[in-house]
């Protein structure tokens, strides 16, 4: 069963009244996504980003403030939870302690209509118990089971009514590391065998990466990126996603854009069209349109650009009279400059002063200019001791070296960087001899990312 969310939004009103009223919380903010039939979607993000709320909206346990939930072609937005055909598993498995495993799994089947016979019920229990590999534990009570076994009972119970959609909210967080690993593989196997569309919530990026067909990274109720795990890892859309995925985390350090090139520690590191040159700022910049709209300008984007691109003309009597006092009467092309744009947007509702407008243009221009600080991201495993392609050198001051299985980690900092941001570089243990005893080494990056300080990815 395909699950589709359309502009799903949940706002929790801020508590209190008047001046003391807390701001509203946009727990889920305009989320649109599709989970394909039979696939596992991992919903990933930091605490408070809206994962559970999204799940509750899909389950029908919360009513959305806006947007819709579809299962296949059916609009489920106003269908009560018990009629949605979902199986739910929470972090605390909430098994009934006084019931046996068999009774726990069979419990949801009691309100199936038409009623199941005793034999039919037992058949379902046997079937799902076999699926989660607990068929020899059916007569035990929950307290006689390990955490992992209890978790599997909770999953069996969620599967017993053959849900169309399985919703799991941090189902593994009460398990120890080893059991977590084992149980997550179990969940994956069960999900594949039952072929049930599943949404799996976790804040553990490694868990999400390993179990999901697709991951969604959320922050502040907003979907940042949705794609196959490897794609999100390799092509993070912004600084937040780059930092959120990867263990050990990506190294982020300061770089600088100057005259269309990237500099690290004052030396040219890379060039490319991404590092736009100064000449590229134009009065046709979309940012100017956005500024105008924010300040009352009322016209569609298309007309605005058509007008400015000189397709429209203006009466010259807007222009000044010549020396002889003649006011020209023919039509001439609209000249594109700050003043003419300002006049034009004022005619269509712009409420700002000329100074406001001009300042906004200056700021945009500054932003587009190529002399600005940026953030450079390199994953620990993406360094190389030998030159790669035409990329420049990254000089690293070494603090110390750690052994990590077959590899070593160099902990240090990029030479010339202020502050205490450390970098971690993972290289094969054989390279140790080339590093040991050195205070500084030159490294190269097989892969790197460049971000605006605001987080937008440039390259």
Ligand X SMILES: Nc1ncnc2c1ncn2[C@@H]1O[C@H](COP(=O)(O)OP(=O)(O)OP(=O)(O)O)[C@@H](O)[C@H]1O
Query: Cβ of residue 240: shortest distance to ligand X, in angstroms?
Result: 14
User: Which of Mg ion, ligand X, none lies near 25, with the C-beta cut-off 5 to 8 A by kind?
Assistant: ligand X
User: Which of ligand X, Mg ion, none lies near 129, with the C-beta cut-off 5 to 8 A by kind?
Assistant: none
The Cα–Cα gap between 349 and 139 comes to 75
Q: How many residues bind ligand X (CB under 6 A)?
A: 12
The Cα–Cα gap between 212 and 313 comes to 56
For 307, list phi and psi in degrees, rounded to 5: -60, -50
* Residue in 219, 143, 153 with CA at minimum distance from that of residue 183: 153
C-beta separation of 378 from 251 below 8 A: yes
Q: Is the dihedral of CA 336, 339, 343, 349 positive or negative?
A: positive
Query: Cβ of residue 201: shortest distance to ligand X, in angstroms?
Result: 7
The verdict on 385 binding ligand X (CB under 6 A) reads no
Q: Where on the chain is the footprint of Mg ion (CB under 5 A)?
A: 52
Query: Cβ of residue 167: shortest distance to ligand X, in angstroms?
Result: 12
Distance of CA 22 to the CA centre of its chain: 26
Query: Cβ of residue 47: shortest distance to ligand X, in angstroms?
Result: 3
Binding region for ligand X (CB under 6 A) out of 45-53, 284-292, 350-358, 431-439: 45-53
| Residues in the chain, total | 459
Give the nearer residue to ligand X in terms of CB position, either 70 or 90. 90
Identify the residue among 42, 50, 87, 352 touching ligand X (CB under 6 A). Answer: 50
- Label the pairing between strands 383-384 and 440-445: antiparallel
* Residue in 118, 188, 124 with CA at minimum distance from that of residue 152: 188
Query: Cβ of residue 316: shortest distance to ligand X, in angstroms?
Result: 58
- 301, with CB counted inside 10 A (0-12, 13-18, 19+), is exposed
The verdict on 53 binding ligand X (CB under 6 A) reads yes
Site string for ligand X, 22-41 (x = CB under 6 A): ---x-x--------------
User: Which of Mg ion, ligand X, none lies near 67, with the C-beta cut-off 5 to 8 A by kind?
Assistant: none
Read off the tokens for 71: 């299962």
Identify the residue among 5, 8, 52, 364 touching ligand X (CB under 6 A). Answer: 52
Residues that bind ligand X (CB under 6 A): 12, 25, 27, 45, 47-53, 203
């Amino acid at each position: 069963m395909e699950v589709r969310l359309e502009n799903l939004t949940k706002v929790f009103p801020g508590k209190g009244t008047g001046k003391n009223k807390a701001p509203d919380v946009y727990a889920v903010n305009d989320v649109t996504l599709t989970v394909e039939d039979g696939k596992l979607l991992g919903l990933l993000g930091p605490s408070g980003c809206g994962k559970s709320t999204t799940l509750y909206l899909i389950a029908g346990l919360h009513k959305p403030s806006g947007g819709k939930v579809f299962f296949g072609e059916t609009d489920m937005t106003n269908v009560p939870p018990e009629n949605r055909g979902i199986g739910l598993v929470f972090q605390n498995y909430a098994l009934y302690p006084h019931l046996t495993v068999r009774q726990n799994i069979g419990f949801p089947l009691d309100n199936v209509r038409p009623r199941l016979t005793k034999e039919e019920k037992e058949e379902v229990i046997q079937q799902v118990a076999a699926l989660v590999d607990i068929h020899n534990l059916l007569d035990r009570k929950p307290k006689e089971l390990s955490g992992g076994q209890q978790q599997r009972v909770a999953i069996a119970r969620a599967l017993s009514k053959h849900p169309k959609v399985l919703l799991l909210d941090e189902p593994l967080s009460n398990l120890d590391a080893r059991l977590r690993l084992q149980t997550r593989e179990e969940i994956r196997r069960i999900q594949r065998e039952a072929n049930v569309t599943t949404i799996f919530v976790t804040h553990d990026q490694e868990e999400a990466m390993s179990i999901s067909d697709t991951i969604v990274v959320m922050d502040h109720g907003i979907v940042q990126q949705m794609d196959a795990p490897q794609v999100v890892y390799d092509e993070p859309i912004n600084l937040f996603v780059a930092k959120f995925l990867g263990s050990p985390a990506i190294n982020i350090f300061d770089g600088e854009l100057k005259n269309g090139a990237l500099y690290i520690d004052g030396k040219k590191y890379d060039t490319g069209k991404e590092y736009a040159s100064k000449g590229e700022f134009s009065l046709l910049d979309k940012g100017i349109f956005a500024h105008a709209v924010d300040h009352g300008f009322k016209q569609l984007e298309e007309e605005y650009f058509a007008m400015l691109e000189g397709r429209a003309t203006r009466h010259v009597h807007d222009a000044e009279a010549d020396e002889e006092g003649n006011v020209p009467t023919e039509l001439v092309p609209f000249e594109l400059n700050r003043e003419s744009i300002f006049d034009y947007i004022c005619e269509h509702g712009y409420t700002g002063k000329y100074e406001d407008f001009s300042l906004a243009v200056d700021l945009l221009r500054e932003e587009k200019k190529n002399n600005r600080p940026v953030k450079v991201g390199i994953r620990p495993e993406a360094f190389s001791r030998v030159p790669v392609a035409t990329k420049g050198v990254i000089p690293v001051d070494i603090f110390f070296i750690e052994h990590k299985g077959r590899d070593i980690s160099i902990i240090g900092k990029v030479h010339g960087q202020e502050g205490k941001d450390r970098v971690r570089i993972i290289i094969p243990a054989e390279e140790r001899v080339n590093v040991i005893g050195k205070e500084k080494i030159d490294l190269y990056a097989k892969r790197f990312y460049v971000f605006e300080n605001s987080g937008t990815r440039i390259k």
